[in-house]
Amino acid sequence: MSERLLLKGLEEEVYTGSYRGEVVGLSHRVAADLPGFTTEPDARNVEFTTAPYRNYRVLVDRLMTKRCRLRAYLRDLGDYTLVPGGTLSLEESDDFVLSNPKNPYYLQIRDTYGTSVVTASTHINVGIESPEDLLRAYRVIRCEAYEYLALTAASPFLKGVPTGAHSTRWATFPETPRDVPFFRDHDQFVQWMDTQLKLGTMFNPRHLWLSIRPNGPDTPYEIVRLELRICDRISDPALIGAVTAILEARVWQVLEDPTLDPLNSYDEATLIELARRNESAAAHRSLDAEVTDWQTGQTTTARNVLESRIASTTQTARQHGFDEHLEPIERVLKLGNRAQRWLAALAEGKSVEEVLTDSILELNRIDNEFDPECPSPAEFLVGGAAT
């Protein structure tokens, strides 16, 4: 088989704030001053994206170029930085900080959902040309989306305390609408979304909030990419490439095996419940969650499923020439995801504030090592502001 790579694009939502972990609403200023950066409804996080690329190094480099540009802007604005995690870890207030009070969509989101949607995540888009192939990949990956959450869980805190979940973000994020079909074909997807928009259960075609969704330039009529939305924000650039790689490898397996389809084995209601149950388990216990493997029907841990997944996708990735990017996943399986490592530090006696402060400096250092254009944490520490 000749090497071939699919188009891939990344979206990052990230909190802005201080080196002490306090989240500060700056997205309206960032979006006004930096081309390519956009606001979210709440001003405390900002979004930026890449164009689609096939090459992994180019893809991650483009994301990191924007991330480092944002870091430099925040430093110059007033010793601000990026605050890791997928939830407002230290924020005591439930107040929504509107980035644009004149935007009716933002107002509607605030009034409908409140701060349950003020989260930070990494979305991964994979291009698939055929709508029917795309929807079959959607069906498979939706059954397996919990695996990606288990790898990337990074939101165990809220209001300064552990919540009992590893991904508080996903445990509380409002799935919208409820009971989204697995879509047997493109026609069903079009008809279903048209109905939702007429009923008002969705504000617009992007108001499809679940672990993964078909997307394109004219959703639902023209869909060209599969968007994985379940991951908490992935701070480590190497892990971003790894999670993208395991997703692409799994998509290739779907494209190369026309029989791979959950609807061949289960009815839709069963699949909806299976996906929801597995995602809830992964949100609470991540790699240690008890889940049901849709292909075997067996109950096991997310870690065991991922170990098998790595074994099967490595060969596919090797055939397509990108298997080297999978390596960081092995480290996560061995050492734990970010939420697990944060909770371990808490168990050793550190406070939530100390855990976050340490992580802010660590991740700043990792970004600087990846791209020297990123501000170094030493620049900030010399000034004594983080002491």
Helices (H), the chain: 27-33, 56-78, 104-113, 131-152, 168-172, 186-199, 237-256, 268-285, 302-320, 327-335, 338-347, 352-370, 377-382
pLDDT of residue 376: 87
| Helix H or strand E encompassing 297 | none
- Determine the pLDDT at residue 3: 63
CB 61 within 8 A of CB 135: no
Report yes or no on 269 lying in a domain.
yes
Q: pLDDT per residue over 32-51, tens digit each?
A: 999 999 999 999 999 999 99
In a domain, 387, yes or no: no
Residue 93 inside a domain? The answer is yes
Q: What is the mean pLDDT of residues 4-21?
A: 96
Q: How far is the C-alpha of 339 from the C-alpha of 85, rounded, in Å?
A: 8
pLDDT of 276 strictly over 50: yes
Tell me what pLDDT residue 387 has.
41
pLDDT-derived band at 2, boundaries 50, 70, 90: very low
pLDDT classification of 4: cutoffs 50, 70, 90: confident
Residue 13 · residue 45 · CB < 8 Å: yes
Asked whether residue 1 is assigned to any structural domain, the reply reads no
Name the percent of the chain lying above pLDDT 90.
95
* pLDDT higher than 80, residue 383: no
Number of domains comprising the chain: 1
| Arithmetic mean of pLDDT over the chain | 95
Q: What is the pLDDT of residue 354?
A: 97
Q: Which residues pair with 8 in a beta bridge?
A: 53, 126
**186-234 per-position pLDDT tens digit:** 999 999 999 999 999 999 999 999 999 999 999 999 999 999 999 999 9
Is residue 187 in a domain? Answer: yes
The string of pLDDT tens digits covering residues 278-333 is 999 999 999 999 999 999 999 999 999 999 999 999 999 999 999 999 999 999 99
Answer whether residue 2 is part of any domain. no
The rounded distance, in Å, linking the Cα atoms of 196 and 319 is: 41
Lowest mean pLDDT among 82-86, 101-105, 190-194, 228-232: 101-105
pLDDT at 378: 76
Write the pLDDT tens digit of every residue in 322-361: 999 999 999 999 999 999 999 999 999 999 999 999 999 9
The reply to whether 3 falls in a domain is no
Query: Quick check: is 375 in a domain?
Result: yes
pLDDT at 133 over 60: yes
Helix axes 131-152, 186-199, angle to 10 degrees: 70
What is the average pLDDT across 245-265? 97
Retrieve residue 366's tokens: 């990792």
Q: Compute the distance between CA of residue 377 and CA of residue 33 in angstroms, rounded to an integer.
A: 23
The CATH code of the domain that includes 68 is 3.30.590.20
Q: Could you list the residue range(s) of the whole structural domain that residue 104 is in?
A: 8-379
β-pair type (157-158, 161-162): antiparallel
